[in-house]
Chain A
Amino acid sequence: MSKKKTRIKLELKRRDFLAVGGVAAGSVVAAQLLTTGPLSPFASFKQEQVEGIEEVAPRHTGHHWGMVINLNKCIGCEYCTRACSATNDVWVGLPDEDQALGKERLNKPWNIVVEEKTSTGTPFYFSRPCLHCGDAPCVEVCPVQATYHRDDGLVVMNYDKCIGCRYCQIACPYDARKFNWQERTDENPYIPTWGIAEVPRRPRGVVEKCTFCIHRIDAGLQAGLMPGEDPEASPACVNICPVGARIFGDLNDPESKISRTIAVEATMRLRDELGTETSVYYVIPKEGL
């Protein structure tokens, strides 16, 4: 045993030193090849990630859809909630049934409107769709890539991939996601008064979310319309608003109405300290928050 030990000691001087040096140099090369080089199994993912980061910065190629919600104008009529629930056939829920099961706010819609107060006590109305984060926690945590970023800045879902683990609900900083706890057999009370269903109902057991009405955006662009300017290509909540509190459009186009509004009004983004880079901006109440 002792003989062996001394031999190791002697050899450490030259041969092992060379071997260790060679292994170290080799692993540096291998690490390069495997992480950023051509052998990397993550090369494709990295590319997506890089594109995702670029998404955050204003790009001058392509669109980046965003929304401005003017808290000065909103009167709390909840028309946006109703039009959204009709157009996207969102379940608006039965409070009595929820209470019987001992649950809270089980079937909240995609779009919510609540009354709030500024620090000086002035009431204002606050509404919230999905904020379509540039760096979205829900996209990161999804184990099956059911939620993903589109090139135009929207965060959307593939309902055929979702396994219903609800991790995105846990991770969303804005409480913007909704789970389908049961099979839909209800009659939507907002159809046809507030609109007709333009997308199919989502199945039981998947999470769903606001899409900024992508079906209208995509079809509108194909028909040569401009989302944010032509109502046929704009989200239902924007069209229905009786006071024009919601502005929709291309954040990448400096001449769009939304970009000009952001340039002149005092705006804020929700929980900006988390680095989520939301695509929704709020015009804050005149007397401050």
Chain B
Amino acid sequence: MLFNDYPFLLVFLPAAILIYRLADPHPQLRIPALVLLSLTFYAIGNPPFILLLVLSILINWLAALAFARTGMRPIVTAAILANLAVLALFKYANFLAYNLGLVLGRPMPTLDIALPLGISFFTFHHIMYLVDLRKGKAPAYSLGRYALYIAFFPQALAGPLVRWSEVMQQFGRQVYSPGWQREFCLGISFIAMGLFEKIFLADRLGQIIDPIYAQAQLGPVMNGAAWLALSFNVQILFDFAGYSDIAIGLGLLFGVKLPFNFNAPFRSTSIQDFWQRWHITLMLFLRDYVFHPLVNSRILPRRWFQLQYFAAMVLTMSLCGLWHGASWNFVLWGTLHGCALVVCSLWRRFGPRLPQLIGWVLTVMLVLLTGVIFRAGTPDAAWHIFQGLAVPPNLDRTRQVVLVVLIPLMAFLLPASQDIIALLTRRPRPWLAALVGIGLLAILVELGERNVNGFAYYRF
């Protein structure tokens, strides 16, 4: 089920709000109601995989329970490995088999498996909890609360990746307590903002650049359109930031404050700054559960610590690339960003101080150029786009050019959506709320006009 679709916006969401309104006065019903709604949400989108989700919740919860009773750490370790194995099977089995086939010189059989929606996200949720449980930082929770942590429908499919400590206590709170109207206003603002980013910005850009990338699969793009393709990273920013804003807004309607995922990343003045503002929750996960363990383990002697530190940085970013999909393109993209991070931190230590404007230009150029590798699918297709940059941009298609200039300008100049919303909702303004209502109506009309486009991050 998509957030930007009539069945969700006009049927599921109103029904869910109504059901939760009825459950709200009874504390013991709140969590079961939300779990049931979340599982329904997941099941409507992909019925066969609901079994996988339920099993995954049950097994991990049982493992946590067994650990809490016995204190045997191998149980948790085995559960973490099992989670990774399931992720590897669904996401990377064919990729591994294909590359093994290349190494051995004979093709390997491919498995006919589909990627269950949200598997990367719920696997990471399990891992965050289990790792902290093993360290003794996390307590054991009831099955309902744990199930909600994994399957809570606003964030189950594509994040934000939430730490258990951020949300566990928020589940089951009374939503309709004094002041709930303000939370609802905020929630609706976030949903409207997210839908606007997705439908009016990301999808518009997507319509322009998708044909260019399709053309790049066939040969060099020499008609001056390759320049437009550079705006892909802006498209994915508004696609995923839009999704995250909708998720945050939905969370507020059910009494849960989810963490922000983006903080105006295209206003960063260095690549380090960029990665602290882009997909923040994933980067925090990678920092705490991949990078820090890699840095702190004694792999190399201490005098080589710097080397280990930078290698861990590159490796973390390569894994970040691989997480986005089983393809060498993503690995290349991640590795390039890892190297850029290393160069950036070396420069900070030894290089002269750069003016902010130059830092910003370099950062944006790096992000947009590597974005081509991310989007193109194959190294050849990416090269075809880069070859096309030798030709001056074709300015004849005015409408496209205006959009491709205007939408990135919004990404470069405007503050993060949460800051805009905070500014607009500093005090109640009914006329502004009425405008948001009319905006939502316009969004619904626009949705009815066109085919609904899926969110990019459902694929990862």
Chains A and B belong together in one complex:
no
Interface residues of B (CB under 8 A from A): none
